[in-house]
Structure 1
Amino acid sequence: MTVSSDRIDFTQPIPAGTIIELIGKVEQVGNTSMKLRVEIFIEEVYSDIRLEAITGTFTFVAIDENKKPISVH
């Protein structure tokens, strides 16, 4: 379950039909939660241009069927 998004920066527009690459990296792991940094890059089809369009940091909490936090280990 996503608990929060700490910050999301939009630096480039992403036109419809654009090829994008998403890269997610685990930044921190706690007992019941983890923080991920996500970067989205625009890739132009007929060139080598690759631009960072969006970056964000998200916190996720592991929960059971009763929506109680559980260990992520």
Structure 2
Amino acid sequence: MPTREQEIQRRAALSISRVTKAVFPGTVNHHNTLFGGTALAWMDEVSFIAATRFCRLPLVTVSTDRIDFNHPIPAGSIVELVGTVVKVGNTSLKVRVEVFVEKMYSEEREKAIEGVFSFVAIDEQKRPVPVLPL
């Protein structure tokens, strides 16, 4: 039988989630770059998917840690969001999301945004439950 740490590593590897988007005109601001709020919504979504794939339980987002917007993401770019479970508690877990930007017609790629989202697993009465079976 695997140890808790081995099970966490196994589930974390299986739960890595990637979402790719194109930055179209409806998602940009007056600077012709991706709206920060749109980026945050995309990040919350991919972090939720990774967290759910990790534990297969109902989850709620309880907080975000520091979100660093390192580079603007221009219209016409390709964006890849990568969610990875990085910490597991008893009833909670944290997912790091990295957002990479690629020029549409070039192989250039750089990390544009990074942040961490925290989730708590809940039961039908909205009470916290363990994210791993005992």
* TM-score of the aligned structures, taking structure 1 as reference length: 0.90
The match for 1:12 is 71
The match for 2:97 is 38
Aligned residues: 73
Stretches of 4+ moved more than 4 A in 1?
none
3-state SS of 1:59 partner? strand
3-state SS of 1:42 partner? strand
Q: Does 2:83 match 1:24?
A: yes
* 5+ long unaligned stretches in structure 2: 1-59
3-state SS of 1:46 partner? coil
Greater helix share, 1 or 2?
2
Greater strand share, 1 or 2?
1
3-state SS of 2:124 partner? coil
| RMSD of aligned Cα (Å) | 1.1
The match for 1:2 is 61
Looking at structure 1, the residues matched to 121 and 76 of structure 2 have their Cα atoms a distance apart, in angstroms, of 34
How far the C-alpha of 1:45 sits from its partner, in A, is 1.4
CA contact under 8 A between 2:76 and 2:103: conserved in structure 1? no
Higher relative contact order (CA 8 A, sep 6+): 1
The amino acid across from 1:30 in the alignment is G
Q: Quick check: 46-55 or 12-21, which moved more?
A: 12-21
* TM-score of the aligned structures, taking structure 2 as reference length: 0.51
The match for 1:67 is 126
